[in-house]
């Protein structure tokens, strides 16, 4: 079965997929992480490489990693650059990259997709294991307060290739969001369903998890303009912190 994140990239549904949004996001990454010229940056998950290639063009040495074969193939084909290398690896295999980094970015992060809290914590530890001491991390997630407030909801996307109904159902007991895409391919008439279950963290939980993995000086923002995070009103939470000595 096709992975939901692979489909989102292929269908052009990724949040901030417009070029002007990507530029704004990358500028926030550079300023928020205080990247030095030539810094080594890990982008995981890198999706189609839209952030990685802009960072590479700015002179940073970037490694883009994603578990999806399709995403890596798209990244190499559309967003290649001499300063970026793309690798297909799961977050739990971050140590196999074979190098350490000055900064790690995990935008719309890979944390929360595993079955248990201990597995998700292990994934974050793996991600941060390749970050140099004193290096900085930026990780964005859905904000649980906002997801809880929305509850069960449906959104329709009517694009040139697909008609998509996205159904979100938050389960307060498990603190998980069940997301299902009902997809109609307009060119073939084919219909299919793609599903995903994701653990959604509160700010308090995520800060505690980051600290348990050796991250300090943590700041939380609502968006890529640097707006302050506000309880259940901010759809996302963007965490920026430093790996402690």
Tell me how far CA of residue 53 lies from CA of 61, 79, 89, 210, 244, in angstroms: 10, 6, 18, 27, 28
Is the peptide bond between 222 and the residue preceding it cis, with omega within 30 degrees of 0?
no
**pLDDT-derived band at 245, boundaries 50, 70, 90:** confident
> Per-domain residue ranges for the chain?
4-142+200-243, 146-198
CATH architecture classification, 146-198: Single Sheet (2.20)
Compare 110 and 7 and report the one with higher pLDDT. Answer: 110
Chain center to CA of 36: 22
Please answer whether residues 25 and 51 qualify as being in contact, where contact means their C-beta atoms are separated by less than 8 angstroms: yes
Answer yes or no: is pLDDT of 12 > 90: no
**What's the confidence (pLDDT) of residue 10?**
65
Compare 12 and 58 and report the one with higher pLDDT. Answer: 58
pLDDT 10s digits, 99-147: 999 999 999 888 999 999 999 999 999 999 999 999 999 999 999 999 9
Q: Does domain 4-142+200-243 have CATH number 3.40.50.150?
A: yes
DSSP for 28-87? HHHHHTTPPTT-EEEESS-TTSHHHHHHHHTT-EEEEEES-HHHHHHHHHHS--TTEEEE
Residues making up the chain, counted from first to last: 245
Tell me how far CA of residue 175 lies from CA of 106, 143, 150, 194, in angstroms: 21, 11, 13, 20
pLDDT 10s digits, 152-189: 999 998 888 889 999 999 999 999 999 999 999 899 99
Residue of 30, 33, 239 whose CA lies nearest to 135: 33
């Amino acid at each position: 079965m096709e992975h939901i994140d692979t489909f989102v990239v292929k269908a052009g549904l990724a949040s901030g997929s417009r070029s002007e949004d990507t530029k704004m996001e990358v500028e926030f990454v550079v300023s928020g992480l205080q990247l030095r010229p030539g810094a080594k940056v890990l982008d995981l998950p890198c999706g189609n490489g839209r952030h990685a290639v802009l960072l590479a063009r700015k002179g940073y040495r970037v490694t883009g990693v994603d578990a999806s074969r399709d995403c890596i193939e798209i990244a190499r084909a559309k967003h290649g650059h001499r300063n970026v290398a793309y690798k297909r690896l799961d977050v739990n295999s971050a140590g196999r990259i074979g190098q350490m980094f000055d900064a790690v970015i995990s935008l719309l992060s890979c944390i929360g997709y595993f079955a248990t809290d201990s597995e998700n914590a292990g994934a974050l530890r793996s991600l941060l294991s390749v970050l140099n001491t004193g290096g900085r991390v930026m990780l964005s997630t859905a904000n649980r307060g906002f997801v809880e407030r929305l509850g069960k909801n449906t959104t329709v996307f009517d694009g040139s290739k697909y008609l998509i109904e996205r159904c979100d159902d938050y389960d307060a007991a498990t603190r998980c969001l069940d997301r299902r895409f009902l997809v109609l391919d307009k060119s073939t008439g084919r219909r299919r369903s793609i599903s995903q279950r994701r653990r959604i963290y509160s700010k308090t939980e995520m800060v505690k998890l980051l600290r348990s993995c050796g991250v300090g000086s943590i700041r939380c923002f609502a968006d890529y303009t640097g707006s302050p995070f506000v309880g259940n009103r901010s759809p996302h939470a963007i965490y920026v912190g430093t790996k402690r000595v």
